[in-house]
Amino acid sequence: MRCKRCRGPAVVEVRRHNAAFCKECFPGVFTEQVRKAIRRFEMFGRDDRVLVAVSGGKDSLALWDVLLDLGYDATGLYLGLGIGEYSDRSHDATEAFARERGAELRVVDLADEYGYDIPTAGREGSRSTCAVCGLSKRYAFNAAALDGDFDVIATGHNLDDEAATLLGNTLRWNTDFIARQSPLLPGRDGFVKKVKPLHRLSELETAAFAFLRGIDYVVEECPLVAGNTQLRYKEAMNAIEATSPGTKAQFFLGYLDRGMPLFAQDDVVLRPCESCGHPTTGRFCAFCRARAQVLDRRLEGPGIEEVPDEDRDVARSLSDEVMPVEIYGRTT
Amino acid sequence: MKVKLRNPDRQVDLPGGRPIREVLDELGIDGDTVLVIRDGELVTRHEQVGDDDELEVRPVISGGSR
Ligand code: SF4
Ligand SMILES: [Zn+2]
Ligand SMILES: [Zn+2]
C-alpha cells in the first residue's frame, strides 16, 4: 500500500476513507482533523487556557500532544483514581510525557481530595464501578477547572467512544442525553465549557498517531473494565464496521449534522448543591449523593436528607455508565 | 515467527511467509482494532511477514466512560 499524499510506503490504513498514509504524512493528516474540529465548533482560541484531562492512555496524550504542537495554552490534569498499579503506571506515563514536552501537569488524587478511591466506590456504592468513576471524573475535572480559572476542559474522546455512547443512548432512547451529545458543551453557571477535539478520529488513528509520535502511553486496560457496557457497544459497532467500513463515522458524524437538531434540549433550572455549591437540579448534586453513599455519610444541608432510595434503583436499572451525565448535572 | 499479544501479555509462535492479514485471521483478530508493530515499526495488514519477524499486536480499544 502507498501513502495517499506522497506515494511512500503506507503504515496506517484508514479504511473508511479508502486511504493509507506513511509515517511522515500521517501525523499531519491527524492534526488537520483536530484543527478542523476545533475550528468548526469554535472550541477554543489562542488566548484560552485549556485544561486537558489526561489519563496516561493513547487518546488523552495524543490530544495533549497535538494541542501543544499547535501552540495552544494546554495544561494537563491527571486524576488519581487509586486503581492499584494501573493508576501508578498511568500517573508515571503522564508525568513522563509532561517532563519530555516541558508542559505543565496538575495532579488531583481522588482519595486525598474526596475521601474515596474507585475500587472502594465500586464496592460500596450502588452504581457500577465505571458509572461512579465517570461521575467522579466529570465532577473533579470541572472542580479543578473552576479552581484553576480555566476557560475550557478538553477530553480525549474519539469517534469510537462517541459512536458507542450514541448507540447505547439510542438503544434506550435516552432522548435528553442524545440531545446533548455534542463535541462542545457550552459553559453555564458553574459548569466549565467542555470539548472533544478528537471526535472525528477513530481509536485506531489515535493509537497510530501516539505510536508514531513516540508517545509512551499505557497500553494495558483498566482492570475494572470487565462487563463495561460501552465496551460491548464498541464491539458490536466494530462487527458492523468490519463489513461496512464507514458506518461508525456515518452514525456519529451524521448525527451531528442531521440528528442532533431534531432532539430538543430541555432547559433545566439549576441551583447550587446544598452540600458543595456545584450546580444541580435538585438539593444535592449527583456527585455528593454518590459520595455520601460510598462514605456512608448523611448529606448535610440546611435540612438533613438521606440518600434517596430511588437513586439506587435508577442507577441500577439504567446502568448509566453509557450516559454522559456530564451535562448540566443530571441528578436522577 | 513470534507474535506478542497484549492485555494480557502473552506470546505465540506462528508460521510466517504470508500477509499479516492472514495471521490476524488465524488469531481471530479484527485488523481495525489493533496496531501491528514489526521490529519497532508500524505496518499495515497487507505487509508480508517472514519466519524470523517479531510482531506485536496491540489492541486499540479502550473501555469505560472517560
Ligand atoms: S474502565 Fe471504568 S473504572 Fe476503569 S478507568 Fe475506565 S471508567 Fe474508570
Ligand atoms: Zn506520505
Ligand atoms: Zn454537590
B8-51 residue pLDDT tens: 899 999 999 999 999 999 999 999 999 999 999 999 999 999 99
* pLDDT, position A226: 78
The helix (run of H) or strand (run of E) holding residue A21 is strand A19-21
The predicted model scores a pTM of: 0.91
Please state the atom number of ligand 1 nearest to the C-alpha of residue A134: 7
Contact (CB, 8 A) for A128 and A122: yes
Give pLDDT < 70 ranges for chain A: 301-332
How many other CB atoms sit within 10 Å of the CB of residue A297?
A: 13
Give the Å distance between the CA of A264 and the centre of ligand 3.
27
Q: Which of A145, A161, A160 is nearest to A74 (CA)?
A: A145
C-alpha cell at A39: 475550528
Contact between B30 and A242 using a beta-carbon 8 Å cutoff = yes
Q: What is the ipTM of this complex?
A: 0.95
| Cis-peptide, bond into residue A272, ω within 30° of zero | no
Q: What's at A319, amino acid-wise? A: S
| Sequence letter at residue B50 | G
- Residue A23 CA neighbour count, 13 Å, CB half: 12
SS3 A301: coil
Q: Which residues surround ligand 2, an ion (CB under 5 A)?
A: A 3, 5-6, 8, 22, 25
Kindly list the distances between the CA atom of residue A87 and the CA atoms of A36, A97, A203, A250, B9, in Å, as whole numbers in the listed order: 33, 15, 21, 35, 18
By most ligand atoms within 8 Å of CB, the mutation choice from A110, A224, A229, A234 for ligand 1 is A224
Is B38 in a helix, a strand, or coil?
strand
**pLDDT tens column, A255-281:** 999 999 898 777 778 899 999 999 998
Q: How far B15 CA sits from the closest chain A CA (Å)?
A: 22
Tell me what pLDDT residue A315 has.
38
For residue B58, the chain A residues in CB contact (below 8 A) are 207, 219
Judging contacts by C-beta atoms under 8 Å, the chain A residues touching residue B44 are 1, 10-13, 20
Choosing from A228, A229, A322 the residue with most ligand 1 atoms within 8 A of its CB, the one to mutate for a pocket test is A228
Closest ligand relative to A2 C-alpha: 2
Give residue A147 CA to ligand 3 midpoint distance, Å.
Answer: 15
